[in-house]
């Protein structure tokens, strides 16, 4: 799947975001190694710490659906911002599901890619728990 298609799916998911507090609507589209794509959006809560980011929503949905393959790419997009990178918590979540994940962000009319390792150097992983 092309990056533009993933960004389009992320923007579609962002339309479903529940963001009454921040007014910042984010969507994510996760492409797995087996070719499946799962989307998610941010869901806020009056108790801000209970809010759920789009990336974690999409990955959690995939887990609930029984998708067991690795994250290949994840596109993240906002309706309000041109370039929307994952927060630190989401970076750690993405790393948990693939040390080689590619993060796709919209930057104007261009698509930019980062590896999760670029965005989260010295991440905490399973290798530290053995």
Catalytic: which of 44, 55, 96, 110?
A: 55
Is 55 among the residues known to form the active site? Answer: yes
Taking the mean position of all CA atoms in its chain, how far away is CA 27? Answer: 7
Q: Residue 72 and residue 54: Cα distance in Å, rounded?
A: 17
Q: Phi/psi zone of residue 114: left (φ > 0), alpha (ψ -120 to 50 degrees), beta?
A: beta
Q: Residue 52 and residue 28: Cα distance in Å, rounded?
A: 12
- The pairing of beta strand 26-32 with beta strand 71-78: antiparallel
The one-character DSSP state at 38 is: E
Q: Residue 121 and residue 130: Cα distance in Å, rounded?
A: 20
Q: Residue 96 and residue 71: Cα distance in Å, rounded?
A: 9
Residues serving a catalytic function are 55
């Amino acid at each position: 799947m092309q990056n533009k298609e993933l960004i389009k799916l992320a923007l579609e998911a962002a339309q479903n975001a529940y963001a009454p507090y921040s007014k910042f609507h984010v969507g994510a589209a996760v492409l797995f190694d087996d070719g499946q794509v799962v989307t998610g959006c941010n869901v806020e809560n009056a108790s801000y710490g209970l809010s759920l980011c789009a990336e974690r929503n999409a990955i959690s949905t995939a887990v609930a659906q029984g998708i067991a393959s690795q994250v290949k790419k994840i596109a993240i997009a906002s309706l309000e911002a041109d370039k929307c990178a994952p927060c630190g918590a989401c970076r750690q979540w993405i790393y948990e599901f693939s040390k080689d994940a590619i993060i796709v962000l919209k930057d104007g009319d261009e698509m930019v890619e980062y590896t999760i390792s670029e965005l989260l150097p010295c991440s905490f992983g399973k290798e530290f728990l053995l």
